[in-house]
Amino acid sequence: MRFDAVVVGAGFSGMYMLHRLRGLGLSVRVFETGDGVGGTWYWNRYPGARCDVQSMEYSYSFDDRLEQEWEWTERFPSQPEILRYADHVADRFDLRRDIQFGTRVTRAAYDEATGLWRVETDRGDVVAARYLISAVGCLSAARVPAFPGAESFRGPRFHTGRWPHDGVDFSGLRVAVIGTGSSGIQAIPVIAGQAEHVTVFQRTPNYSVPAHNRPMEPEYQGWAKANYPDLRRRMRESHAGLLGEFNSTSALEVSDEERTREFETRWAKGGISFLGAYGDIAVNPRANELAAEFVRSKIREIVGDPGTAELLSPRDHPIGSKRICVDTGYYATYNRPNVTLADVRADPIEEITPTGVRTAAGRHDVDMIVYATGYDAMTGPLLGMDITGKGGLSLRRKWEAGPRTYLGLMSAGFPNLFTITGPGSPSVLSNMIVSIEQHVDWIAGCVAWLRERDVAAIDADPLAEDAWTAHVNEVAQFTLYPQADSWYLGANVPGKPRVFMPYVGGVGAYRLKCEQVAADGYEGFVLSS
């Protein structure tokens, strides 16, 4: 079978990419592993799953009527609501007829003779397409650490990112939760509200700020809808694709009283704009420590037992150097009599046994294990496919020492292969929908331009790629990000190269760069007819 384009993934990127390519008159086949649209929001059905970006900012902007007709019900959207929205978009734009669900792309090879990609799936499909577009997402390759004995556990076990669709009943159960990233921090309070007992296995404490989620105020929704063109423009031009108020002054320039007042105001408001309190929190260790210590003081205030409060207090990485978590009642959960915090750093998990978790110092018998242990982020889903480009070059081999891209959009030697929100772009450091729309629009513009001029192939110039990869790395070094063992750096996956993958330069500046490159006839790319 032959298509103009194959898109891998039917999350927010794949759906919009399909819509745009159809608009250009291309024949498109989308392959999606899941049985429905939504990507991250299709898989992450764990209790408490909620977006950390506010509802009015976490939606597509490409269609006025879609924007106006959809009604959000909460300040921060829950997973079920976002999935309903994704389904609504799929229905409204009649997307499903070009999506093949329940199908994983296993291989993609570039055929230099024909200039086509040959794409294979686990269902035996073999299709050819001129353009191959990866919309696989950044956090879709779920990771369960290789604990000895993991398979021997007799009870049910679930990864937060592969959660059963019919839900899980925790009533009367002793539950182990391993991992305290965003997923664990959201799930733990909800599980603790139902289970007989929860033991949380924490290796590294994270900074978390309250969501203060609440029902959507109709006045706010009406105001945002009336002002969408302006709000969307501000988001696109901003650093992180968000509307929050970002203060550019230094945390070190103000008095202690004023700073505390500012932190308190932002804590009371809730959400990630806490980090926007001062302009130097992400770059100056002293400014950062002031914000970090404020969060630690809140933990001490909330958590009754001082020992537990100290264990929950992050001290080994700057605040914001890992994506800050946004929670509902997380720290207070540790005041419940049915919750125990196990410090995996002091007392490591040695094995999983048929009846629970054995650490160096003892046994924790449980009925169920919840793995909130994260993902092989950014490169994992891409390299999960066996992709070969020109001269049989495999992407896995090319990226052995870390991802190399030009603008995070293409990698040299892989013509007509585009990556939406791939490594080297702002991606996970931003409001994903803003970054997704920017990439999809850029790719659609590029494909239209190539077709108008009968250009058969576009590829990244290796020199432009080298310069961009060096730039991505250099900008990251100006910040405190590389100081944390985060998934941004691949540090959570044993053996993964330690390279800072997303681009810290901000979505506004990055967009201008991409636009300028296109306006200059795709500068830094090699075109061939």
181 part of the interface to ligand NA7, by CB under 6 A = yes
Closest to ligand NA7 by CB, 201 vs 263, is 201
How many whole angstroms separate alpha carbon 201 and alpha carbon 179?
A: 6
Write down the least CB distance from residue 501 to ligand NA7, Å.
Answer: 13
Closest to ligand NA7 by CB, 343 vs 461, is 343
Phi-psi region of 468 (alpha: psi -120 to 50; beta: other; left: phi over 0): alpha
419 part of the interface to ligand NA7, by CB under 6 A = no
CB 468 within 8 A of CB 505: no
Among 121, 183, 213, 431, binds ligand NA7 (CB under 6 A): 183
| DSSP E strands, 267-394 | 325-327, 339-343, 349-353, 356-359, 363-365, 368-371, 386-388
How many whole angstroms separate alpha carbon 77 and alpha carbon 138?
A: 20
Write down the least CB distance from residue 426 to ligand NA7, Å.
Answer: 13
Q: Which two tokens stand for residue 320?
A: 């914001």
Closest to ligand NA7 by CB, 103 vs 140, is 140
| Listed ranges 113-121, 124-132, 182-190, 335-343: which one lies at the site for ligand NA7 (CB under 6 A) | 182-190
Among 182, 313, 425, 431, binds ligand NA7 (CB under 6 A): 182
CB 389 within 8 A of CB 340: no
Among 130, 203, 232, 266, binds ligand NA7 (CB under 6 A): 203
Q: Beta strand 208-210 with 325-327: parallel, antiparallel or unpaired?
A: parallel
Among 10, 133, 136, 139, binds ligand NA7 (CB under 6 A): 139
CB 199 within 8 A of CB 340: yes
Among 238, 273, 373, 430, binds ligand NA7 (CB under 6 A): 373
Among 344, 420, 499, 517, binds ligand NA7 (CB under 6 A): 344
Site for ligand NA7 in 67-96 (CB under 6 A): none
199 part of the interface to ligand NA7, by CB under 6 A = no
String of DSSP letters for 357-383: EEESS-EEE-SEEEE---B--THHHHH
Closest to ligand NA7 by CB, 238 vs 492, is 492
Closest to ligand NA7 by CB, 181 vs 380, is 181
3-state secondary structure of 6: strand
Closest to ligand NA7 by CB, 30 vs 484, is 484
How many whole angstroms separate alpha carbon 13 and alpha carbon 274?
A: 28
Write down the least CB distance from residue 484 to ligand NA7, Å.
Answer: 9
| DSSP E strands, 195-276 | 197-202, 208-210
Site for ligand NA7 in 115-134 (CB under 6 A): none
Closest to ligand NA7 by CB, 414 vs 487, is 487
Site for ligand NA7 in 274-333 (CB under 6 A): 323
Among 399, 487, 503, 525, binds ligand NA7 (CB under 6 A): 487
Q: Beta strand 174-178 with 368-371: parallel, antiparallel or unpaired?
A: parallel
3-state secondary structure of 48: coil
Q: In degrees, to the nearest 5, what angle opens at C-alpha 319 toward C-alphas 314 and 321? A: 110
Beta bridge partners of residue 157, listed in sequence order: 369
Closest to ligand NA7 by CB, 415 vs 502, is 502
Among 140, 343, 492, 505, binds ligand NA7 (CB under 6 A): 492
204 part of the interface to ligand NA7, by CB under 6 A = yes
| Listed ranges 333-341, 354-362, 368-376, 402-410: which one lies at the site for ligand NA7 (CB under 6 A) | 368-376
Interface size with ligand NA7, residues (CB under 6 A): 21
Secondary structure letter of residue 505 according to DSSP: T
49 part of the interface to ligand NA7, by CB under 6 A = no
Closest chain position to ligand NA7 (CB): 181
How many whole angstroms separate alpha carbon 263 and alpha carbon 402?
A: 37
Phi-psi region of 306 (alpha: psi -120 to 50; beta: other; left: phi over 0): alpha
Cα Rg, the chain, nearest whole Å = 23
Residues that bind ligand NA7 (CB under 6 A): 139, 145, 160, 178-184, 201, 203-204, 323, 344, 349, 372-374, 487, 492
